[in-house]
């Protein structure tokens, strides 16, 4: 198929979430991508999205977030509801941290939790699979199936574990996060692998991996800029929207060892500076864990 | 456009007289080509060649110094649009704003905060750079008084934020000898402000909302005898700032508009969220960032972002190879082999400290390469591991002979066992999984 030159130089649009009219149950759906120029220049993307991360087993979650959300941490559905209604997140990112437990086999709970979260929030979901390659296939199948037609963004495909997430995305109509370790060429390779597996290019979102601010974030920032420049110069295998999740920022020394009275402010500042810089480098979606960071990012991105 | 060294060389006298301070005309040409030498250093240039080369060899963004002495801050002299193309050289000066309408105590406490703030990170001391005094009292003598209160420019660099020439004149009578930034000349007041900047030899900011007007205004001030100019594009939104700042940097580097070849300034207090404006300024070409008084958390995050972005990407930051004890390890603590790529080290350190598991991090010299690259490129080898165990005296620290190696180094496990005599355990590939791995797998 011939494409116009203009089409070739744009970042591909990826649709996330599905409204009733689109075959899902979400109140909104988003199209990310479509940029033809550097961030904030030229044609502006439709919108920049902020996701709040939640999980199904808070023992593996940063204490500074657990302290803030309190009992919500023990009720995944209520946490998801608050993410939308109280904290104003555009998307909810559900992490199955329960799969970190030794000998995990509660696969039924994966589907049940996915359904509960779908019922609790009307926002599109990002769903993270397991932490164990052996569990991936079953976790992706259960959660992917429970969300069939909802156009989740499923995470996370990596170079050595992408088949099960790709299979679930293809079977149930979801998009995929393709994560590579802060390297333009590895990002490209993974996108090619996914393409060869049959994942359409308009269902891939690049995650270049976000090093924590002060702990290598500059590498992430420059790799994001390079991915975007390569895409704008015509490299179709890198012409996907990007997602950034500064997950590591809440476990660094500056946050952990802050005086109790300052810890929350430090966590929010660290997440905010990292996520905002990722947006300036080209990210379409930023994912954070502290609810206060969501509101701060939303205000900054709309202002 | 910038000229290549050989094209510049054609215009030089080719006498290799060394009067410019370089051994040959070609060496001088190479310095000129990268903006690191001044064409005026050559005494034998024809006037025509001097003009031609002067236009193309000066740095695309002029170096402007605010303040004097140890804490002065030099900004500009940048050469690229993206840090990965080369590097960014001069981190923006962050100046904290006070008002002359505030009580003295409040001014004093902000000035003290700026003087005393130091964040120690990776061997560097990160500081806030100065104080901006804003004229809001409508009393020129009060403005001068608060400028004095802020140190008069003697200790910390100052920015004098006022449109009124009378107020600025009063402040410059106090601080004029310490190169404060006069902020800012506009279409209305530029003649009076340029005259003041010239008289005191101070840098001058010019403000206009449109890049073409900004260039025109900068040109007028330069013609009036003010060489050191800072551009304030007065953006109406942060997205607007990023877009305009990018256009201005492009014009400067492409040398399409010489009057835009100056550092930028941004007033972070003019936006809803000062943190976002500070980040945007750091990332996208600001030379001077005027900020409201910030929380300690914002200061630390902002200074860290500035350090990250102005780190030279041409040098992989390396950690000194050796043994790093974490969480007070004893003689039965695990020994974890890794590489001296700083990102790897910091990531491991974060997870291991958080886990509270006592251990030794054993960092081999892979010349700053990551595990994956070092294994693939033959920099991490069994010989290196064996030699490093001896060199760092690892055997004297622990009673066991077990070595945990990174998951990506698994192909080397047999060879490392043979070369070292230590039993090798293959750890996870991902640092995040290391604490869990040690909890379940580590037994001595």
CB A144 within 8 A of CB A168: yes
- Give the model's confidence band at B52: pLDDT under 50 very low, under 70 low, under 90 confident, else very high: confident
Contacts with A41 from chain B: Cβ below 8 Å: 242-243, 246-247
Model pLDDT for residues A237-274, shown as the tens digit of each residue: 999 999 999 988 898 888 988 999 999 999 999 999 99
CATH architecture classification, B64-309: Alpha-Beta Barrel (3.20)
3 state DSSP class of B58: coil
Quote the CA–CA distance of B97 and A75 in Å, as a whole number.
45
Model pLDDT for residues B401-425, shown as the tens digit of each residue: 999 999 999 999 999 999 999 999 9
Nearest Cα of chain A lies from the Cα of B331 at a distance, in angstroms, of 25
pTM above threshold 0.90: no
Per-residue pLDDT, B228? 96
- Give the model's confidence band at A3: pLDDT under 50 very low, under 70 low, under 90 confident, else very high: very low
* pLDDT top residue among B84 and B56: B84
Cβ contact (<8 Å) for A218 and B242?
no
Interior angle at CA B217, CA B211 and CA B218, nearest 5: 85
Per-residue pLDDT, B88? 96
Of A211, A212, A269, the CB nearest to B298: A269
Per-residue pLDDT, A46? 57
CATH 3.40.50.11600 fits B322-441, yes or no: yes
Of B237, B308, B370, the CB nearest to A214: B308
Cβ contact (<8 Å) for A215 and B298?
no
Cβ contact (<8 Å) for A280 and B370?
no
B48 touches chain A (CB under 8 A): no
Element at B182 (helix H, strand E): strand B181-185
What is the CATH number for A148?
3.20.20.20
Chain A nearest-CA residue for B273:
A300
Domain ranges of chain B: 5-57, 64-309, 322-441
CB B179 within 8 A of CB B140: no
Contacts with A217 from chain B: Cβ below 8 Å: 305, 308
Contacts with A229 from chain B: Cβ below 8 Å: 82
Cβ contact (<8 Å) for A300 and B121?
no
CB A32 within 8 A of CB A241: yes
Per-residue pLDDT, A43? 63
Cβ contact (<8 Å) for B305 and A273?
yes
Counting the structural domains of chain A, the total is 1
Q: What is the 3-state secondary structure (H, E, C) of chain A?
A: CCCCHHHHCCCCCEEECCEHHHCCCECCCEEECCCCCCCCCCCCCCCCEEEEEEECCHHHCCHHHHHHHHHHHHCHHHHHHHHHHCCCCCEEEEECHHHHCCCCCCHHHHHHHHHHHHHHCCCCEEEECCCCHHHHHHHHHHHHHHCCCCCCEEEEEECCECHHHHHHHHHHCCEEEEECCCCHHHHHHHHHHHHHHCCCHHHEEEECCCCCCCCCHHHHHHHHHHHHHHHHCCCHHHCCCEEECCHHHHHCHHHHCCCHHHHHHHHHHHHHHHHHHHHHHCEEEEEECCHHHHHHHHHHHHC
CB B310 within 8 A of CB B122: no
Cβ contact (<8 Å) for A269 and B301?
yes
Of A91-105, B32-46, B96-110, the poorest mean pLDDT is in B32-46
DSSP B135-150: --SS-HHHHHHHHHHT
Calculate mean pLDDT across residues A162-188: 95
Contacts with B242 from chain A: Cβ below 8 Å: 39-41, 280
Cβ contact (<8 Å) for A280 and B243?
no
Cβ contact (<8 Å) for B246 and A38?
yes
Quote the CA–CA distance of A230 and B173 in Å, as a whole number.
53
Nearest Cα of chain B lies from the Cα of A8 at a distance, in angstroms, of 23
Top residue of B80, B94, B276 to mutate, by most chain A CBs within 10 Å, is B276
- Give the model's confidence band at B73: pLDDT under 50 very low, under 70 low, under 90 confident, else very high: very high
Per-residue pLDDT, B369? 83
Cβ contact (<8 Å) for A277 and B305?
yes
Quote the CA–CA distance of A114 and A96 in Å, as a whole number.
10
Calculate mean pLDDT across residues B180-209: 97
Q: Return residues 369-428 of B near A (CB < 8 Å).
A: 370, 372
Top residue of B244, B268, B283, B432 to mutate, by most chain A CBs within 10 Å, is B283
Cβ contact (<8 Å) for A212 and B350?
yes
Per-residue pLDDT, A7? 52
Calculate mean pLDDT across residues B154-178: 97
Q: Residue B178's closest CA among B154, B145, B199?
A: B154
Nearest Cα of chain B lies from the Cα of A42 at a distance, in angstroms, of 8
DSSP B305-353: HHHHHTS-TTS--BPPPEEEEES---TT--EEEEE-BHHHHHHHHHHHH
Cβ contact (<8 Å) for B84 and A226?
yes
Q: Return residues 227-256 of B near A (CB < 8 Å).
A: 237-240, 242-243, 246-247
Calculate mean pLDDT across residues A74-81: 98
Of A229, A248, A299, the CB nearest to B273: A299
Contacts with B280 from chain A: Cβ below 8 Å: 276, 280
Model pLDDT for residues B346-359, shown as the tens digit of each residue: 889 888 988 899 99
Contacts with B276 from chain A: Cβ below 8 Å: 272, 276, 300, 303
3 state DSSP class of B117: coil
Calculate mean pLDDT across residues B236-249: 94
Calculate mean pLDDT across residues B368-372: 84
Question: Which numeric CATH code is attached to B5-57?
Answer: 1.10.15.40
Q: Return residues 328-357 of B near A (CB < 8 Å).
A: 342-343, 346-347, 349-351, 353-354
Cβ contact (<8 Å) for B301 and A131?
no
Per-residue pLDDT, B180? 98
Cβ contact (<8 Å) for A222 and B83?
yes
Contacts with B301 from chain A: Cβ below 8 Å: 213, 266, 269-270, 272-273
Quote the CA–CA distance of B103 and B290 in Å, as a whole number.
20
Per-residue pLDDT, B50? 82
Calculate mean pLDDT across residues B120-130: 86
Q: Residue B369's closest CA among B315, B299, B332?
A: B315
Nearest Cα of chain A lies from the Cα of B298 at a distance, in angstroms, of 6
Beta bridge partners of A285: A49, A243
Element at B24 (helix H, strand E): none
- Residue A244 is part of which domain span? 5-302
B318 touches chain A (CB under 8 A): no
Of A220-224, B221-225, B364-368, the poorest mean pLDDT is in B364-368
Average pLDDT for chain B: 93
Cβ contact (<8 Å) for A276 and B280?
yes
Calculate mean pLDDT across residues B144-167: 96
- Give the model's confidence band at A4: pLDDT under 50 very low, under 70 low, under 90 confident, else very high: very low
- Give the model's confidence band at B135: pLDDT under 50 very low, under 70 low, under 90 confident, else very high: very high
Calculate mean pLDDT across residues A167-185: 95
* pLDDT top residue among B189 and A5: B189
Calculate mean pLDDT across residues A203-219: 92
The half-sphere exposure of B78 on its side-chain side, counting CA atoms within 13 A, is 31
Tokens, residue B183? 């902020």
Q: In terms of C-beta density within 10 A (0-12 exposed, 13-18 middle, 19 or more buried), how is residue A275 classed? A: buried
Per-residue pLDDT, B82? 97
Q: In terms of C-beta density within 10 A (0-12 exposed, 13-18 middle, 19 or more buried), how is residue A276 classed? A: buried
Query: What CA dihedral angle connects B433, B439, B440 and B444, to 10 degrees?
Result: 130
What DSSP designation does B66 have? E
Q: Examine the pLDDT at A195 and tell me if it is beyond 80.
A: yes
Q: Residue A284's closest CA among A245, A242, A246, A247?
A: A242
Q: Residue B89's closest CA among B311, B301, B263, B318?
A: B311
Query: What CA dihedral angle connects A226, A228, A234 and A235, to 10 degrees?
Result: 70
- Give the model's confidence band at A1: pLDDT under 50 very low, under 70 low, under 90 confident, else very high: very low
Q: How many CB pairs under 8 A join A and B?
A: 134
Calculate mean pLDDT across residues B4-22: 91
Cβ contact (<8 Å) for B372 and A181?
yes
Of A5-9, A63-67, B58-62, B302-306, the poorest mean pLDDT is in A5-9
Nearest Cα of chain A lies from the Cα of B296 at a distance, in angstroms, of 8
Quote the CA–CA distance of A162 and A268 in Å, as a whole number.
32
């Amino acid at each position: 198929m011939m494409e116009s030159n203009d089409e070739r130089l744009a970042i591909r649009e990826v649709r996330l979430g599905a409204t009733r009219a689109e075959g899902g149950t979400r109140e909104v759906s988003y199209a990310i991508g479509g940029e033809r120029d550097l961030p904030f220049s030229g044609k502006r993307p439709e919108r920049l999205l902020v996701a709040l991360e939640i999980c199904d087993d808070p023992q593996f979650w940063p204490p500074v977030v657990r302290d803030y959300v309190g009992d919500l941490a023990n009720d995944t559905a209520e946490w998801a509801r608050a993410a939308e209604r109280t904290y104003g997140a555009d998307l909810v990112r559900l992490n199955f941290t329960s799969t970190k437990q030794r000998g995990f086999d509660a696969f039924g709970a994966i589907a049940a939790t996915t359904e509960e979260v779908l019922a609790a929030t009307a926002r599109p979901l990002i769903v993270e699979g397991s932490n164990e390659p052996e569990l991936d296939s079953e976790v992706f199948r259960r959660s992917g199936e429970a969300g069939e037609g909802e156009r989740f963004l499923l995470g996370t495909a990596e170079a050595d574990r992408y088949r099960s997430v790709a299979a679930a995305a293809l079977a149930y109509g979801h998009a995929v996060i393709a994560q590579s370790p802060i390297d333009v060429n590895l990002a490209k390779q993974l996108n090619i692998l996914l393409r060869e597996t049959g994942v359409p290019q308009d269902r891939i979102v690049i995650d270049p991996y976000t090093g924590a601010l002060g702990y290598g974030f500059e590498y992430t920032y420059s790799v994001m800029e390079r991915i975007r420049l390569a895409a704008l110069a015509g490299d179709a295998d890198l012409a996907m929207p990007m997602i950034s999740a500064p997950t590591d920022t809440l476990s660094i020394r500056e946050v952990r060892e802050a005086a109790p009275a300052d810890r929350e402010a430090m966590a929010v500042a660290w997440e905010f500076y990292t996520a905002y810089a990722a947006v300036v480098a080209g990210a379409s979606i930023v994912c954070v864990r502290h609810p206060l960071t969501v509101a701060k990012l939303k205000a900054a991105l709309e202002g | 456009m910038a000229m290549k060294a050989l094209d510049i060389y054609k215009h030089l006298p080719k006498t290799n007289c060394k009067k410019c301070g370089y051994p040959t005309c070609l060496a001088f040409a190479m310095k000129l080509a990268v903006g690191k030498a001044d064409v005026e250093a050559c005494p034998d240039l024809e006037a025509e060649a001097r003009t031609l080369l002067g236009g193309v060899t000066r740095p695309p963004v002029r170096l402007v110094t605010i303040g004097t002495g140890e804490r002065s801050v030099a900004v500009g002299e940048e050469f690229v649009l993206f840090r990965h193309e080369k590097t960014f050289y001069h981190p923006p000066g962050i100046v904290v704003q006070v008002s002359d309408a505030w009580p003295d105590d409040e001014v004093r406490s902000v000035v003290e905060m700026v003087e005393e703030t130091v964040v120690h990170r990776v061997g560097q001391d990160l500081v806030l750079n100065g104080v901006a005094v804003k004229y809001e009292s409508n009393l020129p003598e009060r403005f001068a008084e608060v400028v004095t209160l802020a140190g008069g420019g003697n200790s910390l660099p100052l920015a004098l934020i006022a449109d009124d020439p009378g107020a600025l004149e009063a402040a410059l009578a106090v601080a004029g000898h310490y190169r404060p930034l006069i902020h800012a000349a506009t279409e209305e007041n530029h003649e009076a402000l340029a005259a003041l900047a010239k008289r005191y030899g101070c840098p001058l900011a010019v403000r206009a909302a449109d890049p073409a007007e900004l260039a025109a205004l900068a040109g007028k001030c330069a013609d009036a005898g003010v060489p050191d100019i800072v551009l304030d594009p007065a953006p109406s939104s942060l997205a607007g700032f990023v877009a305009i700042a990018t256009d201005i940097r492009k014009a400067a580097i492409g040398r399409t508009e010489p009057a835009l070849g100056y550092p930028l300034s941004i007033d972070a207090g003019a936006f809803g969220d000062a943190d976002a404006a500070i980040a945007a300024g750091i990332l996208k070409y600001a030379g001077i960032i005027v900020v409201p008084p910030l929380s300690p958390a914002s200061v630390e995050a902002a200074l860290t972002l500035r350090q990250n972005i102005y780190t030279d990407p041409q040098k992989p930051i390396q950690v000194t190879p050796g043994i790093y004890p974490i969480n007070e390890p004893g003689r039965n603590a695990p020994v974890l082999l890794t590489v001296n790529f700083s990102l790897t080290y910091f990531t491991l350190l974060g997870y291991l400290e958080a886990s509270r598991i006592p251990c030794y991090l054993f960092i081999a010299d892979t010349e700053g390469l990551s595990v994956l690259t070092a294994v693939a490129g033959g920099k991490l080898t069994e010989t290196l591991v064996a030699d490093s165990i001896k060199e760092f005296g690892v055997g004297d620290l622990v009673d066991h002979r077990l070595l945990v190696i990174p998951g990506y180094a698994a192909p080397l496990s047999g060879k490392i066992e043979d070369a070292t005599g230590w039993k090798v355990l293959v750890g996870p590939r991902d640092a995040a999984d290391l604490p869990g791995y040690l909890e379940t797998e580590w037994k001595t």
